[in-house]
Amino acid sequence: MKKILIANRGEIVSRIVRTARKMHLRTVAVYSDADKDSLFVRQADEAYRIGPAPSSQSYLNVERILEVIDRSKVDAVHPGYGFLSENAEFCKALEERGIVFIGPAREAIESMGDKIHSKRVAMQAGVPTIPGYDGIIASADHAVTVARDVGYPVMVKASAGGGGKGMRIAANDEEVREAWETCSNEGRSYFNDERVFIEKFIENPRHIEIQILGDKQGHVLWLNERECSIQRRNQKVIEEAPSPFVDPSLRRAMGEQAVRLAQAVGYYSAGTVEFVVGADKSFYFLEMNSRLQVEHAVTEMVTGLDLVEQMIRVAAGEPLPFTQKDVRLKGWALECRVYAENPYRNFMPSTGRLMYYRPPQESSKIRVDSGVFEGGEVSRYYDPMIAKLVTWDHNRESAIAQMENVLDEFAIRGPDHNIDLLNTIIRHPRFLAGDFTTSFIQEIFPDGFMGAAPTEEGTRAFAVAAAIILLVESALYRQIPDLQDLVVTVENEELQLTVERKEGCDLVSFGLEDPVLVTHNFRAGGKLASFVIHNQTCTFRISRLAEGHLLSRGGRTVTAIARTPRHHAFARHMLRKKAPDTSRMIVSPMPGAVLKVLVGVGQTVNAGQTVCVLEAMKMENAIRCEHDGKRVKSVLVQVGDTVEADAVLIEFE
């Protein structure tokens, strides 16, 4: 094997290229029109266009990818994750051409890639499964009948779904109807498979998965577990290995069940068996991903294995060079998925150009898997993940502390992102205690994410940073006194402080309090700076506003404005710009494509009623009315339109 094609996009291509180079293999990338300038295209040795931006016309277009395979004369194909990674027909087409598929046998893909069939296989193998209906749901009415028999709440799933796509929880007949249609659409759009089934939704579970690795000689090993319970909309947000919930006995039991299932389908390569685990440590088979998964990085960090390398060697026919007793669990790893979305607006997807992109510096304890670069575009056509940020240390507490630091150091400008959410979660007492389930985010933020709760100490740190930023930038243009009184407004709170400038440091005091020694590395115009305040390092992400700065740290983003007392007095007389009145309209919360328009002119709609459906990043998003008794004056969009964020969709009388 000398040359491999990577039939995917984004950070996984960059990840595979890195391992391939280590193994002295050449790489070939494929790309859509939306990805022509992407990082992974630059990194591969060769790259070929395969079609327009929609994945159905590019990354899911088997014929176009096969044309590139023939043209580039590759020996093997790595499918990455998603798209064709669990497509048996694609695997068959490669077999017919004598091309090695870097993944499991086609028969294993057929057994495990179909969630309906995989559940039946698990039952036959003696692996406990979730109660439900494992037949195909033919219609919305059929879905309601099945859901009533299973008992609410239920989970509606696309048979070929994954990565949070094609999955919805439903608690009543109306929600089941909507979920059936949405899951069918997402399954068709992202996986070319619209089949849907229904399971009982296990309330307050933990989502724990076992990484397995097998070779063609029949050896299958389990490589410990990953905790994947921090989710939103069934999409994993934070993963860690090992799990703070799993003890050695449960670990072994789950590992052995995972191996039993893998052996039942003749599995080889690197895959994952996922389980739902109850508070009493009972566990049920959820699904098997026969492919590599996004969160494989945390397993690599705690085992020291390169799973991509092992996949390539297994595909080449090599036996595993170690046994189960050689598998070690060293330290603790944590992964945060940095998404292009706005957690302050119910996780709405965000797109656009990365005007500024500075991930943390990688080291033996810090890993950044990313497929983007400064100046690149985050497209509405694909998954919203910008990067995976992984930290490792000797124990969980230290790995979390590492993550706190690097999240503060991760600077992004352009699309919205979820770093504040990630920062808030990993600092939450329940997360620190390992006390969480898959409903953690809903429980902690029942009214939506509003940022980390303000504290007096945190507000003062923001005020100190804003004051020093003002003085450093002012010093470029004029002389400023060594002793300066300032008023800093942090959101709606005013703090009066005094800064005494010294050689190499500053002394900051609030009123009559003793001054605090502050050192920093801020330079005028900088977008990231660390301040040591009273022996505590505080790293801030900085964005300049028309007046003042937007400062982010520790899950909290604030507007901070520092002024002299005189300027502050003048500012009190400034007129405030009123927010536009949007009570008589519905605006798009995101860029996307209009899939459905569900209201017409003259119709009266009520709070919670869906007026249209937008598709963004392969997810369907229902746009709902917020007020009762609104009569539609005009509908400004139609099916097929592409809209930008804040575009007016519906006007009311």
3-class secondary structure, 467:
helix
Q: Which of 175, 287, 335, 615 is catalytic?
A: 287
Token reading at 197: 């089934």
CB 290 within 8 A of CB 108: yes
Task: List CB contacts of 421: < 8 A, sequence separation 6 or more.
Answer: 237, 343, 449, 555
Catalytic residue list contains 287: yes
Beta-bridge mates of residue 47: 29
In one-letter notation, the amino acid at residue 581 is: D
Nearest alpha-carbon partner for 397 in 295, 538, 251, 244? 244
CA atoms within 13 A on the CB side of 404: 17
Distances (CA, A) of 559 to 286, 459, 494, 541: 44, 11, 12, 12
Report the Cα–Cα distance between both ends of the chain, in Å, rounded: 67
Task: Please state whether the peptide bond connecting residue 153 to the residue before it is cis, i.e. omega within 30 degrees of 0.
Answer: yes
Residue 602 and residue 192: Cα distance in Å, rounded?
38
Q: b/e string for 290-317 if b means 16 or more Cβ within 10 A?
A: bbbbbbbbbbbbbbebbbbbbbbbbbee
- Spatial distance between the Cα atoms of 269 and 121, rounded to a whole number of angstroms: 19
The three-state secondary structure class of 584 is: coil
Active-site amino acid positions = 287
